Amino acid sequence: MSVVLCFQRYPFEPPQIRFLTPIYHPNIDSAGRICLDILKLPPKGAWRPSLSIATALASIQLLMSEPNPDDPLMADISAEFKYNKPVFLKNARQWTEKHARQRQKGDEEELAGDFLAAGDPEAHSTAQKRKAGQPGGTEKKFCPGV
């Protein structure tokens, strides 16, 4: 499972995309962050306002099927992918069986709130209010149509 968030400055800033389900992949870290240039602004990234969420998701899908071991977030997994692919495939399969399970709707909402809160104190406050059943809005929204 992943979450896609758009902020007020989208499309001038890239959407934030993160995996909530742990992924055994050289380009995805333990927090679900994705190493992909189009998810970052220049000069280090390649995001442009002409790109879309669909483009970002298609790029992630390609990255999932074709990891880039030369630009890893997880050096140990990258080395395994490059030098011992059968072990990598076995570990990836075991990781998937262990972590990829059907979540309850409440779990998804809580995880999404935690994702919002991770990088933004205002969103953290809103997520805490939502958990406590209090009203509270934020300018950050889940991207429509995703």
> Could you read off the pLDDT of 54-110 as tens digits, one per residue?
999 999 999 999 999 999 999 999 999 999 999 999 999 999 999 886 554 445 556
Q: Is residue 45 part of a domain?
A: yes
Residue 12 structural domain: 2-101
Distance CA 98, CA 111 (A): 18
The CATH code of the domain that includes 56 is 3.10.110.10
Q: Is residue 63 part of a domain?
A: yes
Distance CA 69, CA 9 (A): 31
Query: Cβ distance 63 to 70 under 8 Å?
Result: no
Q: Is residue 117 part of a domain?
A: no
Q: Is residue 120 part of a domain?
A: no
> Could you read off the pLDDT of 12-58 as tens digits, one per residue?
999 999 999 999 999 999 999 999 999 999 999 999 999 999 999 99
Q: Is residue 135 part of a domain?
A: no
Q: Is residue 64 part of a domain?
A: yes
Q: How many domains does the chain have?
A: 1
Instruction: Give the per-residue pLDDT at 77.
Output: 98
Instruction: Give the per-residue pLDDT at 114.
Output: 62
- Out of 35, 39, 53, 56, the active site residue is 35
**CA-wise closest residue to 112 among 104, 98, 74:** 104
Instruction: Give the per-residue pLDDT at 133.
Output: 41
Query: Cβ distance 68 to 51 under 8 Å?
Result: no
| CA-only gyration radius of the chain, Å | 17
Q: Is residue 89 part of a domain?
A: yes
Q: Is residue 107 part of a domain?
A: no
Instruction: Give the per-residue pLDDT at 90.
Output: 98
Count Cβ atoms within 10 A of the Cβ of residue 116 and give its class: 0-12 exposed, 13-18 middle, 19 or more buried.
buried
Q: Is the pLDDT of residue 121 over 80?
A: no
Q: 35 catalytic, yes or no? A: yes
The pTM assigned to this predicted structure is 0.71
